[in-house]
């Protein structure tokens, strides 16, 4: 029994969403617990404790759910349930977008780049969150790509998630007018940019601080404290796992 293990009520919610009742030697619950354990502790696959399912089996399901979109679907379903529990509409109407540069532990992997502003050699995780700080979408890319052009991929993937009430996205000054025009024409989203100098001195930017808080939450998952992944797809999956782990504590 580990602190990351699912409670009975949390597993009922996830089991209902997964809708997979096929009998196995190792239950889906034990496999899911193992994946949450890896996300929280940041250990290597081969260092998994012996009382968890074999690491090759967990690795298989991790990539199976990466490739068939299960992590995105599960995260979206939990976002909607979490919002309803907080007496909100299932689909958010406002989102906040931002990126975080993360050092990479791997050599010679691609894509990867140097963020001259943050002095970080690695990748960026680019996210959109709702007003509760819940992750709606994540895209991981090289750190040397500027936020504004990279945001097009983020917004395109967000539109595929099917949050039908979403109409406005808040951003900082790194996202320019060309992006705002493209978002409106392509998806009907309004990009609202809040510039720091318009606020007069140091102030917490209204609403925008919530995306920064989400990045802080991610750091509690040691697998995300640094980019340990060879590919961006597995990094994105661990961001969703971290988000899922945080949300299921409310069920």
Q: Domains, the chain, ranges and CATH?
A: 90-224 (3.30.420)
Among residues of the chain, what percentage have pLDDT more than 70?
95
Short-list 188, 217, 216, 192, CA closest to 205: 192
Residues 6+ apart with CB under 8 A from 2: 33, 37
Mean predicted lDDT score pLDDT of the chain? 92
pTM: 0.93
Is the separation of the CB atoms in 35 and 62 below 8 Å? yes
pLDDT above 90 (res 108) = no
Sign, CA torsion 107/109/113/115: negative
């Amino acid at each position: 029994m580990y602190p990351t293990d699912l409670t009975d009520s949390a597993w009922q919610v996830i089991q209902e969403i997964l809708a997979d009742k096929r009998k196995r030697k190792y239950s889906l619950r034990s496999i899911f617990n193992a994946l949450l354990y890896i996300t929280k502790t940041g250990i290597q696959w081969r260092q998994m404790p012996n009382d968890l399912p074999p690491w090759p089996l967990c690795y298989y399901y991790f990539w199976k759910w990466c490739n068939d979109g299960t992590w995105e679907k599960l995260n979206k379903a939990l976002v909607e349930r979490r919002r309803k529990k907080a007496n909100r509409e299932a689909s958010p109407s406002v989102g906040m977008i931002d990126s975080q540069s993360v050092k990479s532990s791997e050599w010679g992997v691609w894509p990867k780049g140097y963020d001259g502003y943050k002095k970080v050699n690695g990748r960026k995780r680019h996210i959109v969150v709702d007003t509760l700080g819940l992750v709606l979408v994540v895209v991981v890319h090289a750190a040397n790509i500027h936020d504004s052009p990279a945001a097009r991929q983020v917004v395109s993937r967000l539109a595929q998630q099917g949050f039908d009430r979403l109409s406005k996205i808040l951003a900082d000054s790194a996202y320019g007018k060309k992006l705002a025009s493209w978002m409106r024409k392509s998806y009907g989203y309004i990009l609202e940019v809040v510039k720091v100098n318009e606020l007069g001195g140091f102030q917490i930017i209204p609403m925008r601080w919530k995306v920064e808080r989400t990045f802080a939450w991610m750091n509690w998952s040691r697998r995300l404290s640094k980019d340990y992944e060879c590919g961006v797809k597995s990094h994105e999956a661990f961001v969703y796992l971290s988000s899922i782990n945080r949300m299921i504590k409310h069920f």
